Chain A
Amino acid sequence: MKKYLLVALVLILISTMIFSGCSKETAAPQTLKIGVLADLSGFLSVFYLEATHDMQLTADYINEKGGVTIDGKKYNIELVIRDSKSSPDGALAGANQLIFQDQVKYVIGPIAFEGAATTPLFEQNKVLHIFNSTTTSRLEMGPDWPYAFTADDSALDFSTVEFKIGQKEFPNAKTCVMILPDDGTEPYLMPSVIPILQSMGYTILNDGKAILYPNDMQDFSPIVSKLNSLNPDIMFQPEAAPPAVYGILKGMRAVGNDAVYIATLFPGDPNNVIAAVGAEAATNFACLNYTKDDPGYPQILKDLITKLSPNAPFFTFTLGNCLMVLTNVMKAANSLDVDKIKTKWESMDTIEGVYGKGTVGGEKTFGARHSVTWPEPYNKFMNGQIFKNLPWINPGPTP
């Protein structure tokens, strides 16, 4: 008989082990749980490890200033951060955990292409989810998804900003190419971008198609050869990680091509560019990114920058900005109800964020006013010299 007892004992042990993990749902009534899905591992962690850290600073800042007051009640923000592992299935696992274990009602993230996996799940469970970056794909945001928002510039807005920089800084450029990672952006982005480019007087080389590179590419020299053979006056890269930008810039200059190159470079200290590609290569180049000492920053951002540790190589408050937007809409709606927040957001014209006032838009692109855009600062490089603190470029509301 004892053996049966032993077996029963083991089974009880297993079952208690399974159950013990589940019974921890006690949240203090005064905290407002906000889920975050960020890539803490995988090839995008270069960006998101720092971004989640900076987001925590923003949350602390909001809490210091008295938290979020809704209906006379004060709430402190508590961030629940989960890893999305730089892959759609990792993001899906994280989303499951956020929705069902942590039971959050608002989620910030994941990044762009991972959204295709998580959006249906969030929508099914009525979770308000805010992208910090989208590829404008219908799988991530669109008329089918009422709870999908974006609170930072999308690939389309970055493209608009880059075209405007191109017109302003390099007016002689006539022929252009678009460079994109092969992550499903192209079919959605290119049709909206081509009319803008044509209205600005650019000729699009490569038969109006973008140059695509595999997401995990390391050696960009074949892409460089291809670009060099097309020989454009100007190259736009609205959606890029630093390795791709450095690879293409360094490669183009090494083959003796001085074409203008405009790219997003988040995260990055512009001084990194010269260290990475050499002073000789840093010419005819403009990148969208933030410096620590821009005098044009709004007060909130200046306060936040003083809180950064002096060792932080760069900062990226893009996730913090999403948080700020969310809390401000909550305050304006004076409610924690997801539907009320959604309707309030759609009725607002401008929303205050970390980067100042953002403009709400997106009727044509996303089918509803679910997007907020911000002016972008940029830096220009000519002959190894940085031109910092140039006036910011406003993409205008997302069409």
Chain B
Amino acid sequence: MAGYILCHSSRSFEYDLVFLMEIFIQTLTNALVLAAVYILVSLGFAFLFNMLGIFNVAHGSIYMAAGYLGYLFIQALGINQWIGLIIVVVLFAGLGLFLEKFCFRPFIGDFNRQIMIGVAIIAILETSVNILIGSQMYIIPTFVEGILKAGAYSIAWDRIAAFGLGGVLLILVILFVNRSRWGQQMQAITQNMEGAALQGINIHQISAIVSALGCALAAIAGILMGSLYTLDPFMGDGTLIKILILIILAGVGSFKGVIYMGLLLGALYATLPLLIQGAASDAVAVAIILVILLIRPQGFFGHEVS
């Protein structure tokens, strides 16, 4: 297990300390980057789910499609990375508006048909990407090249950039939710939809904005993921599971919880594969979460079960 990290017989004690420090720093960066990606992609889901009860199972696939579209612009058409990112984000915000109008709004309160449409969207996006471009491309060029070296430690700049971008976006989203008028209206709808409507809040307008925001955040996460790791047409399936785990842990109805639990999930998935061989690491992560859920089935930050 962790034995080989802690007592590596061939190294001296001072060297061991440096070495442990190195692993610690690496794992910390990995955890933070993973957490940033998970939080970004989950927030879009959480907004719609908390506000209107829309269970968008296609969110993972939207994130995957954004990664591929980003690749298309940046690598295939040779557009500057940052401009490409902005184009994709704008396009996906548009997609969010479209989805809200035609796929979510007609089915508010109808859980069954939401899932039906979601599964159909997953099938269409995955199959299209698989057939059209799936077999040909893998990685979006890194946004920031090079490696930061500080003494014995080294971290790739693109990870720092990804984490920085994620952090800035997160602060902006928190400000949006807490300070802006739209954000406060969104919170009002989350608490009581009829009451909010009676107060003159335009629910459709807010849900459109939130859907666009959610898809845009997923698009950013997808492109970040594509530049840090690799793209594959079926990566949305695994991501959907991560999103759902995050939402369950955070508790339905909580934005704050998504952020804290995102950090927890990032830490789990960055640390466990280091200690446990192979697929068992996933199982242990899930077991830990299951124990947490058995103690608190409604999640950490969710309001009480109604």
B232→A243 contact, CB < 8 A: yes
Compute how far the CA of A158 lies from the CA of B88 in the bound complex, rounded to whole angstroms.
41
Stretch of A20-28, A217-225, A367-375 with 4 or more beta carbons under 8 angstroms from chain B:
A217-225
Q: What would 16 A/B residue contacts be, using CB atoms closer than 8 Å?
A: A40-B130, A41-B126, A45-B135, A46-B232, A49-B130, A214-B282, A218-B235, A222-B30, A222-B270, A222-B273, A225-B26, A228-B22, A228-B26, A272-B138, A276-B139, A276-B230
B273→A223 contact, CB < 8 A: yes
B82-123 residues at the A interface, CB under 8 angstroms: none
Q: How many CB-defined contacts (below 8 Å) exist between A and B?
A: 129
Bitwise interface map of B from 30 to 65 toward A, beta carbon under 8 Å scored 1, else 0: 100110000000000000000000000000000000
A41→B232 contact, CB < 8 A: no
Nearest CB of chain B from residue A283's CB, rounded to whole Å: 13
Most chain B CB within 10 A, of A226, A242, A272, A313, is at A226
Compute how far the CA of A262 lies from the CA of B162 in the bound complex, rounded to whole angstroms.
29
User: A-side binding surface: helix, strand, loop or mixed?
Assistant: helix
Stretch of B146-154, B181-189, B206-214, B298-306 with 4 or more beta carbons under 8 angstroms from chain A:
B146-154
Q: A43-B232, A229-B19, A272-B138 are in contact. List 11 more A-B contacts (CB 8 A).
A: A41-B127, A46-B232, A182-B279, A219-B228, A222-B270, A250-B156, A256-B147, A275-B141, A276-B139, A277-B139, A313-B136
Which residue of A is nearest B8, CB measured? A229
Which residue of A is nearest B274, CB measured? A222
The answer to whether the Cβ of B238 comes within 8 Å of any Cβ in the partner chain is yes
| Residue among B139, B155, B159, B270 making CB contact with A275, cutoff 8 Å | B139
The answer to whether the Cβ of A216 comes within 8 Å of any Cβ in the partner chain is yes
Most chain A CB within 10 A, of B22, B127, B156, is at B156
User: B-side binding surface: helix, strand, loop or mixed?
Assistant: helix
Nearest CB of chain B from residue A399's CB, rounded to whole Å: 27
Interface residues on A, range: 35 or more
A43→B234 contact, CB < 8 A: yes
B23→A222 contact, CB < 8 A: no
A219→B34 contact, CB < 8 A: yes
A275→B229 contact, CB < 8 A: no
Compute how far the CA of A87 lies from the CA of B157 in the bound complex, rounded to whole angstroms.
37
The answer to whether the Cβ of A346 comes within 8 Å of any Cβ in the partner chain is no
B233→A45 contact, CB < 8 A: yes
